[in-house]
Amino acid sequence: VRSVQKRSTDTGKVEVHSVTVDCTVTSRFAHTVMTSVALNRANTSQEIFFDVELPKTAFITNFSMEIEGQVYVGEVKEKEKAKQQYEKAVSSGQTAGLVKASGRKMEKFSVSVNVAASSNVTFILTYEELLQRKMGKYEILTRVKPKEPVQEFKIVADIYEPQGIAFVDAHATFLSNDLLPLVEKTVTDKKAHISFSPTLEQQRKCPGCDGTLIDGDFLINYDVNRAQSLGDIQVVNGYFVHFFAPPDLPRVPKNVVFVIDKSGSMGGRKIAQTREALLAILNDIHEEDHFGFVEFDDKIVPWKESLSKATTENVAEAIAYVKRIVDVGGTDINAAVLKGVDMLIKDKQANRLPERSVDMIILLTDGMPNSGESHLPKIQENVRSAIGGNMSLYCLGFGNNVDYAFLDVMSKQNNGVARRIYEASDAALQLQGFYDEVASPLLSEVDLRYPDNTVEFVTTNHFSQLFNGSEIVVAGRLADNDLDNFLVEVYGQGPEEDFQVQGQASAINWNVVYPDEEYIFGDFTERLWAYLTIQQLLEKSKTGSSDEKGNATAKALDMSLRYSFVTPLTSMVVIKPETEDSTEAPLIANKLTEEQRQQAERVSYRYHSPQQRTHYQATPTYFVDGD
Amino acid sequence: PHFMIELPDRNDSLCFNINDKPGTIFTLVRDTETGILVNGQIIGDKKIPPNGRINTYFWRFGIIHQALGVRLEVSTRDISVFQDSNRAKLLWSDSASLKAPNVDLVVSKDRSLTVTLKDSVKFVILLHKVWKKHPYHQDYLGFYTLDTHLLSPSVHGLLGQFYHGIDYEVTDLRPGEVLEKPDATMFVKGHQLNVTRGWQRDFRRDVKNGENIPCWFIHNNGTGLIDGDERDYIVSGLF
């Protein structure tokens, strides 16, 4: 929470009474309410800002303001309809509430409102997200940046996990030795409570100073117990959710081809970071895995025509090879990826790779194909047809100018995902981090099956892989509301044999599991299902056929409106109170797509403060002159 | 005039020439959001040189910062500053500095003018003085933008469009017409261009001889590199 702040420091005073972040997680579904109360102590009205950051994976579900006892509540509308109000506001010079990109994990929500002299304003922002399990843990990230010490500052998180909590860690980037003991953590079998509430004095950088120590990320990580190989199925209020991440599965060997763009535009940091990350990956590669490299510019040059087993000798040879990769030339993504696919197919056919193993291609590029086939839909079509659903394609896109949408669609069409690699100092770590997530497949071709006649509107239930440290989540609605038992089966391919389990799911009696909690937050399983369904529909609206795209978009819009989620298809409109002589202007909260975020970041580069600019050693010069 | 886009991050530069009839006025920078406009007018040589090539140069720039209410007219003859209803005139023959609320000017005698517009942009205009009795050439100006980071994302113009940075790739290096200037293929803004490795001069340090900066030269008035073509940047007046 960047909390409330004044537009100008020379005019009146804004006193921030409180900043509270209240997060409730129930079965991975997090519901966070950020509240900030401020008083305009000046003797004239002035504009007060509410500036917060929320996770990219979250959907805003509500925003309201209370000014002089009057509450202004947000309403989710179809984006196009909201846009008309938004454009009216912008054209009349009003500040509209905006969601902007803010780094890798967060996006920024910012609004301002005119507050009369000696009046209070309360801002309340609510958002929800399904926490994703990565590397064996869930993460609740709260970014806090109040400008000054705040009378009441509080971060509270309550985690309810009926499976039982395996561990909880809470830490913050700003924690000093003095602040550390203020993080309170209470963990019982199925419940955790974390709070952090420093006093005004404890927030100060030094006694009597204005500055605050509270500036950074507050992180809570936890995991749940996993005893059942079937996973955990929870049935609540007519909806079910199935969390599948069985313990103690051996990893499946993988065959990975790294397709590396070494064209001229990868020059400088990008290629250096690529080398650095590949070296780190090679040092960690499992000995039973096979790997290969295809480096490309306008020419396609495989390291070797076949994949190599990750023996010590081969890895040493690969390390020497990676160190020699230099940037030059154009970009032929099409031929390079097809070469990688071809290598995997040929090696599989020639029995050079283990029969039960997972095939994947990791493409590292900054995009912009300009050699060979350069028509993007044609490349996607070629790659999809070559892969034929038999392997996964992961795309790592470097830099702000990469055509992310192209990579995103291409990966999703081939059972993979795309990830942007931000060119910050830790780009190599981002690459490694991504690789670590996919480094250990446990199962392939995972199918989660439920009786057809008892469930409906089930989210995606087939997954090409399950990776160690991750989790598969499927949710759906029960056709019969009274049903509290149903048969669940899971199939998958393991390294030695097929994985096959079945069991009975039963409804949880929350009053028994949490007898002291009167209210957690109502219909969370239904909202979890809606969140997951919307996410998957939004993906389908990008990758499906044109008919599928239209249907998926319409359904996603309908559900976003029904469940009051601010998604890329909807906006939240709050009618903003204005001064007596001006008309009402709406505030709008939008959700950015990854492409829009990228666009915003290209722009925001231009708004670095002068201090930040001094970090750049060389400044570009643009000039015109004569000889 | 030759345009140069220096890209220190890539340790590389792009360059191109824009020529048209003497008297033509081009928009170099236009930022509608911040209200900044830089136009420049070209002149030709006094008469057609023996080689028959008409060279053109900038001799006059008009600069406006609408929000700050500042207008500057800089020519090879003198420098005029208008702010609100005030006007000041500076001569190239004097070293002078002027500090107004929204604009700082520093004139280095017969050499350069540094302009800083408050919270927006900083640039230098160089004066190239040519021997008065030179049979062909006459005085001309160079325009160097030094700090553009506060301009808006919508900034455009012959120079302004590059303030966002530019993505390009060069491949297929091959011998060119001149031995020391190889040709190559450049992929930029969706175009495939034939470019030549050459150099152009940066006169900031040495206004007389300049300093050679290697660059990829884009032929035909920067066609393919600039958005549209050079005629799209022609305007009828300096302001």
What is the structure's pLDDT at A611? 28
Are B171 and A622 in contact (CB < 8 Å)?
no
Check pLDDT > 70 for residue A8.
no
Give the distance from CA B168 to its chain's centroid.
21
pLDDT digits (tens, 9 = 90+) for A357-384: 999 999 999 888 888 898 999 999 999 9
Nearest CA in chain A to B201: A627
Q: Dmax over Cα atoms in chain B, in whole Å?
A: 58
Residue whose entry in the numeric block shows the structure tokens 């609320």: B101
- Residue B51 CB partners (closer than 8 Å, separation 6+): none
Half-sphere exposure of B38 (CA within 13 A, CB side): 28
| Distance in Å, alpha carbon of A308 to nearest chain B alpha carbon | 31
Are A330 and B163 in contact (CB < 8 Å)?
no
Q: What is the DSSP letter of A134?
A: B
Rg from Cα positions in chain B? 18
From the list B18, B145, B192, which residue is nearest A623 (CB)?
Answer: B145
- Which segments of A42-137 are extended strands (E)? 46-55, 59-67, 70-73, 75-78, 98-102, 106-115, 120-130
What is the structure's pLDDT at A581? 46
What is the structure's pLDDT at A343? 97
Question: Is residue A627 within 8 angstroms of chain B, CB to CB?
Answer: yes
- Residue A381 CB partners (closer than 8 Å, separation 6+): none
From the list B10, B40, B140, which residue is nearest A268 (CB)?
Answer: B10
Q: How confident is the model at residue A410 (pLDDT cuts 50, 70, 90)?
A: very high
Are B2 and A625 in contact (CB < 8 Å)?
yes
Beta strand A300-302 with A308-309: parallel, antiparallel or unpaired? Answer: unpaired
From the list B1, B8, B170, which residue is nearest A618 (CB)?
Answer: B8
Kindly state the tokens that stand for A395. 């795309």
What is the structure's pLDDT at A557? 94
What is the structure's pLDDT at A559? 95
Q: How confident is the model at residue A612 (pLDDT cuts 50, 70, 90)?
A: very low
Nearest CA in chain B to A622: B5
What is the structure's pLDDT at A526? 93
Q: What is the DSSP letter of A69?
A: T
Count Cβ atoms within 10 A of the Cβ of residue B177 and give its class: 0-12 exposed, 13-18 middle, 19 or more buried.
exposed
Check pLDDT > 50 for residue A431.
yes
From the list A265, A370, A621, which residue is nearest B146 (CB)?
Answer: A621
| Distance in Å, alpha carbon of A322 to nearest chain B alpha carbon | 21
Give chain B positions within 8 Å (CB) of A267.
10
pLDDT digits (tens, 9 = 90+) for B8-62: 777 789 999 998 899 999 999 999 888 899 999 999 988 877 777 778 999 999 9
A226: left (phi > 0), else alpha (psi -120 to 50), else beta?
Answer: beta
Nearest CA in chain A to B1: A626
| Of A415, A409, A464, residue with least CA distance to A441 | A464
pLDDT digits (tens, 9 = 90+) for A581-607: 445 556 667 777 777 666 555 543 332
A455: helix, coil or strand?
A: strand
pLDDT digits (tens, 9 = 90+) for A519-556: 555 688 999 999 999 999 999 998 878 888 899 999 99
- Averaged over A324-352, what is the pLDDT? 93
Question: Is residue A371 within 8 angstroms of chain B, CB to CB?
Answer: yes
Question: Is residue A359 within 8 angstroms of chain B, CB to CB?
Answer: no
| Distance in Å, alpha carbon of A229 to nearest chain B alpha carbon | 50
Are B187 and A606 in contact (CB < 8 Å)?
no
Are B2 and A624 in contact (CB < 8 Å)?
yes
Distance CA B170, CA B184 (A): 7
Residue whose entry in the numeric block shows the structure tokens 């325009």: B143
A430: helix, coil or strand?
A: helix
Among B4, B152, B187, B212, pick the best mutation site for testing chain A contact (most A Cβ within 10 A): B187
What is the structure's pLDDT at A97? 54
Check pLDDT > 90 for residue A138.
yes
Dihedral angle sign, alpha carbons of residues A435, A437, A438, A442:
positive
Query: Which secondary-structure segment (H or E) carries B95?
Result: none
| Distance in Å, alpha carbon of B101 to nearest chain A alpha carbon | 19
Task: Answer yes or no: are the C-beta atoms of A50 and A36 closer than 8 Å.
Answer: yes
Distance CA A453, CA B238 (A): 76
Provide the mean pLDDT of chain B: 88
Give chain A positions within 8 Å (CB) of B203.
625
A299: helix, coil or strand?
A: coil
Count Cβ atoms within 10 A of the Cβ of residue A266 and give its class: 0-12 exposed, 13-18 middle, 19 or more buried.
buried
Are B6 and A368 in contact (CB < 8 Å)?
no
Give chain A positions within 8 Å (CB) of B152.
606
- Residue A256 CB partners (closer than 8 Å, separation 6+): A289, A290, A291, A292, A359, A360, A361, A362
Give the distance from CA B230 to its chain's centroid.
14
Task: Answer yes or no: are the C-beta atoms of A388 and A364 closer than 8 Å.
Answer: no
The one-letter amino acid code at A250 reads P
A312: helix, coil or strand?
A: helix
A86: helix, coil or strand?
A: helix
Beta strand A418-421 with A392-398: parallel, antiparallel or unpaired? Answer: parallel
From the list B11, B140, B159, which residue is nearest A626 (CB)?
Answer: B140
Kindly state the tokens that stand for A9. 């420091």
pLDDT digits (tens, 9 = 90+) for B177-232: 887 788 888 988 888 899 998 888 889 888 888 888 889 999 999 999 999 999 99
| Distance in Å, alpha carbon of A44 to nearest chain B alpha carbon | 26
Check pLDDT > 60 for residue A616.
no
- Averaged over A76-103, what is the pLDDT? 64
Task: Answer yes or no: are the C-beta atoms of A329 and A466 closer than 8 Å.
Answer: no
Task: Answer yes or no: are the C-beta atoms of A581 and A572 closer than 8 Å.
Answer: no
Distance CA A570, CA A261 (A): 37
Comparison of pLDDT for A223 and B6, the residue scoring more:
A223
What is the structure's pLDDT at A572? 82
Nearest CA in chain A to B153: A603
Give chain B positions within 8 Å (CB) of A613.
149
Share of residues in chain B with pLDDT > 70 (%): 100
| Of A227, A208, A99, residue with least CA distance to A148 | A208
Check pLDDT > 70 for residue A85.
no
pLDDT digits (tens, 9 = 90+) for A195-219: 999 998 899 888 878 788 888 899 9
Give chain B positions within 8 Å (CB) of A607.
149-150
Interface of A with B in 567-626 (CB under 8 A): 602-603, 605-608, 610, 613, 617-626
From the list B58, B143, B169, which residue is nearest A264 (CB)?
Answer: B169
From the list B128, B169, B192, which residue is nearest A626 (CB)?
Answer: B128
Nearest CA in chain B to A625: B142
Interface of A with B in 235-274 (CB under 8 A): 263-265, 267-268
| Distance in Å, alpha carbon of A622 to nearest chain B alpha carbon | 5
A370: helix, coil or strand?
A: coil
A208: left (phi > 0), else alpha (psi -120 to 50), else beta?
Answer: left
- Residue A426 CB partners (closer than 8 Å, separation 6+): none
Nearest CA in chain A to B202: A625
Distance CA A341, CA A345 (A): 6
What is the structure's pLDDT at A3? 47
Distance CA A77, CA A74 (A): 9
What is the structure's pLDDT at A484? 65
Q: How confident is the model at residue A336 (pLDDT cuts 50, 70, 90)?
A: very high
* Orientation angle between helical segments A269-284 and A427-439, nearest 10 degrees: 30
- Which segments of A131-253 are extended strands (E)? 138-144, 152-160, 165-172, 183-187, 191-196, 216-224, 232-236, 239-244
Provide the mean pLDDT of chain A: 84
Kindly state the tokens that stand for B146. 């030094």
Interface of A with B in 409-438 (CB under 8 A): none
Kindly state the tokens that stand for A461. 């239930």
From the list B3, B163, B169, which residue is nearest A624 (CB)?
Answer: B3
Query: Which secondary-structure segment (H or E) carries A255?
Result: strand A254-261
| Distance in Å, alpha carbon of A394 to nearest chain B alpha carbon | 24
What is the structure's pLDDT at A101? 57
Rg from Cα positions in chain A? 26
What is the structure's pLDDT at A538? 93
Residue whose entry in the numeric block shows the structure tokens 């900043």: A19
| Distance in Å, alpha carbon of B83 to nearest chain A alpha carbon | 25
Distance CA A275, CA A260 (A): 10
